[in-house]
Amino acid sequence: MSSGENNSKKIAIFVSHRIDLKSMVVDNPLYVPVRCGAALDENDKGNAIMGDNTGDNISEKRISFCEYTVQYWAWKNYDADYYGLCHYRRYLSFMDSFMPGNDYDVRMENNLSVRTAELYQLFNKSKMEKEISSYDVIVGKAFDTTKITRVRPRNSVKELWYASRNLVDPIAIDTLIKIIEDRHPELVESMNEYFASKYYRGYNCFVMSKKIFNEYNKVLFDILFEFDKQFDTTGYEGNKLRATGYMGEIVYGVYMWYLQHHTDCKFLERQIVYFKNTEADPDANTLAQRTLSYKKPNDDIKIFVSHRMDLDSAVIGNRIFENYKCNAGSARCFLKMNGDDTGDNISDLAKYFSELSVQYWAWKNADVNYYGLCHYRRYLSFSNKKFDQCSRGYIIENMLNDESVEKYGLKDYDGMAKQIKKYDLITGGSMNVDEMDFLFGGKRAHCIKDIFMIQEHLFDKSAPELTLKLVDELYPEYSKAAEEYMASKKYYAYNCFVMSKELFNRFCTFEFGVLFEFMKRFDMSKYQGTKMRTPGYMSEVLYGIFIYWVLKQRKYKVKENQLVFFRETNAAKCRLAPAKTAAAPKKPKKDESVLKKIMRNTFPAYRVALRNEERLGALVASVNDLQKKSTEHSVLLARTVKVCQSTAPKSVQAAAAKPPIIATSLRKDIWDAKTLTSNINLNIACLANEIHETHKKSFGEFRNINTGRDVVVMASGPSMKYYKPIPGAVHIGMNASFLNPDVDIDYYFTTDYESRAPWFEKLKEYDFVKFFGQYSTGEYRDKFQVSEKIIRENNGRRFFQAAPSEDIHINIEFYPLMAFYSIAFQAIHFALFTNAKRIYLVGCDCTNAGYFDGSKQRLSDLVAKTSVPHWLDGYQKVKAFVERFYPDTEIISVNPMGLRGLYSDVYTDDFIADHPEIDSSKVTRLNSTQEEK
């Protein structure tokens, strides 16, 4: 059939809508919205959408026949050349490529919106007409039953249906098979082939020529009416009342198999898109109010600038830039600007995707002709001049201020718009790998692939390997470009660009399609820090591949602009127009004083914090006064302070050089920047109360419980594998140490629930007293919160630790547990609270040598430089604390490594045997300490 005929062909795709839900309709004359089961609708009269209860109809059978009442009505009452069926939240996609879907190859979208309808070409009447008139049948794509992961994979369609006992009774399937054998023997071969195959076709979404539609319905409804007579649903409830509808889905699959494999009809598969939310405004009473209409965008160009949630960065006064905070849904976000957490968004994935959460938001929620992306300190230059740049491929500019903004043409909307509209794509400048004078992970790259395979300090090399595999698997049209680009030397990086709408949609479909599948297959649970951003780094692989693909097409106009990196973008320093923030309301002094009076008399922790606050208040006030003085005065003051310090005693000089430690986490500026409220007094009061109530509940019953007993604090360092349990000792484990099969844990401490390490899910299977820690103040408090789910699953107890403070308190019912950057210190603090006679330290190795199971620490060199010194300092302070407040408690290091010589050292025979450098004649063995008890 030629495409020229489609103007005379009438196409009607019937959309089945629920009678109890006001759902959106798509503004496209090819779609015909119909209420399913309108005969049962109490509000039938005057409804905005017509019903299936006129003319020849079976509307009253909706409960058992489901959307087939709409299909029957269309067959009997409507005249068209092509008939289609879809559902109020399931549509056939008419875009050219397939998006990654769920187990059933269905593409999942959060919302049916103008953006998503446009993406899947639901507004594109001319494209749909051309495609529909070129085929006899267009159906939803079949999926492979052996690849289902949500439930157990099935080897065939028949096995899948017989296993779906929550939906249908197997007797119903038997009844259907008998009816087909008796009434339609011409379909028996197709039925047997379809049942034996692994390709299931469901969901009743299709478009067919009039001839095939009529033939199909004669067979379908002959079978369904007979089934409805024979199969008694009395006693069934829920899904099983829809038995006839489910049998219709089986007939649909059988008949489509027949058309595809036993006829010469032109057959096309399209992806089904499922929209989770399609609800219209509850007050929308007219069809117009419920219609999703495409509108030409008002703005031609928008460049979305991704801002960090915890920095007040300068914004450029140019309407071409749309400033959005990345990870806006985080509790730590304080910026007063638009966020990436509205509409259809992935804001909660920003910790993995970085600035791509803003890009995704733009893709799903904005409608312009040109889309761009840049970062709060990386912008494309739109200047006509060329500037010197570093070997990393960008210009380095000290400050984002009026002068530099003018220099790079970032305030000139008209000039930028004129340049952008000349091209389909403007990207940041490329780099030649051979000209890069820096090393990647200590190695030099010779091609693009090398860059991503040797940066193991940022991500494992298995990540780019999987990314490239997914490109081949999901988007083979980019495979050749991927292979050639990764072998080339022209490197595109940094995700800064401006693209036409067509390219942007294509790019996002490709990029997010791969990344979402990457997230399903790549285990991110073991990563923290930089490696959590592995998907973000993989986006640079995909970005480069896409740019290379565009260039190879030779039909797009592409321009490379220089990229500018601004070292300083702080709004206060740059003096560009800052984001407007609302001032926090001030509480009356009377209320403050009453609160303070109550808390001063109630909680000892609050009395200490209040004194610290008063001192800090005076300090902050004096600093603010100094900042208001002239520059000359400030310089003179600085010189005076320097002279005073140089003539003071050395102890005073040292103290002056070190910033004050007192309550640093309660400084007003830090508090305001890192939390969602500036009412510091209220927070101190509530925190003191919360710590006391929590710790009393968690720890109160264990005070002095281990008087006269030995307690073993067992960490997960390499030396732990040499430890055999001390008979009668109490064991306190932490993190992965509970996996040691030789030791039964009594108590357990962790704060690693945020990392979701591989061992974490196993924890709920163990029965010992579990303590889950969270931080007491500042940004740590907001980042690490123990969820109720974790507490329920583990029958756990909460506690607070004091990081970043280094205080050690005696009464842990009132105060946070000591920190020092290791969970071992909280376990030791608890052991002291229980009044142990001896505390044995096992696996507390204070090195970067890895763990007892042979696994290595990530960033071990960094651990050696930063963490180990903190740990050693902590153990020194613990020793002093114990000698002062617990003189009857002895601390003993078992097989010490980093702690050798600090406490009493004892060794096991196995450890000595594996460490020949130890003189066995001069050390104490663990057995002898037991004999002294």
pLDDT (0 to 100) of residue 859: 61
CA distance 364 to 356: 12
* CA-to-CA dists, residue 100 to 109, 251, 473, 615, angstroms: 11, 27, 10, 58
Please tell us whether the domain made up of 694-914 is placed in CATH 2.60.40: no
The phi, psi pair for 796, rounded to 5°, reads -90, 175
Give average pLDDT by consecutive 10-residue segment, the chain, 933 residues: 53 95 92 94 75 96 95 97 96 86 87 85 92 96 86 86 88 96 96 96 96 97 96 84 94 97 95 91 73 68 90 88 84 64 86 92 90 95 93 90 93 92 94 74 80 81 93 94 94 94 94 93 79 90 96 94 93 65 37 45 44 44 42 42 43 43 41 48 77 90 89 92 89 89 88 65 82 72 69 85 75 87 91 94 88 72 75 89 91 92 92 88 75 44
Token pair in block for residue 835: 């009044």
Helix (H, G, I), strand (E, B) or coil at 369: coil
Q: What is the largest CA-CA distance in the chain?
A: 109
Residue with tokens 């889905």: 249
State which H helix or E strand residue 775 sits in: strand 769-775
- CA proximity to 734, closest of 827, 868, 870: 827
Say which DSSP state 300 is in. S
pLDDT (0 to 100) of residue 236: 82
Q: Which residues lie closer than 8 Å to 168 by C-beta, 6 or more apart?
A: 161, 239, 240, 243, 246, 247
CA distance 62 to 20: 13
Cβ contact 301:369 at 8 Å: yes
pLDDT (0 to 100) of residue 810: 87
User: Where does residue 240 rank: exposed (0-12), middle (13-18), buried (19+ CB within 10 A)?
Assistant: middle
CA distance 309 to 325: 6
pTM, two decimal places: 0.48
CA angle centred on 262, ends 256 and 266, rounded to 5°: 65
pLDDT (0 to 100) of residue 45: 65
Cβ contact 813:791 at 8 Å: no
Cβ contact 166:238 at 8 Å: no
pLDDT (0 to 100) of residue 638: 46
Where does the chain hold its CATH 3.90.1480 domain(s)?
694-914
Say which DSSP state 296 is in. -
**Rounded (10°) angle between helices 210-230 and 243-262:** 140
pLDDT (0 to 100) of residue 131: 94
Neighbours of 766 (CB within 10 A): 14
Cβ contact 518:459 at 8 Å: no
The phi, psi pair for 251, rounded to 5°, reads -60, -40
CA distance 134 to 924: 88
Token pair in block for residue 124: 């594109």
Neighbours of 9 (CB within 10 A): 15
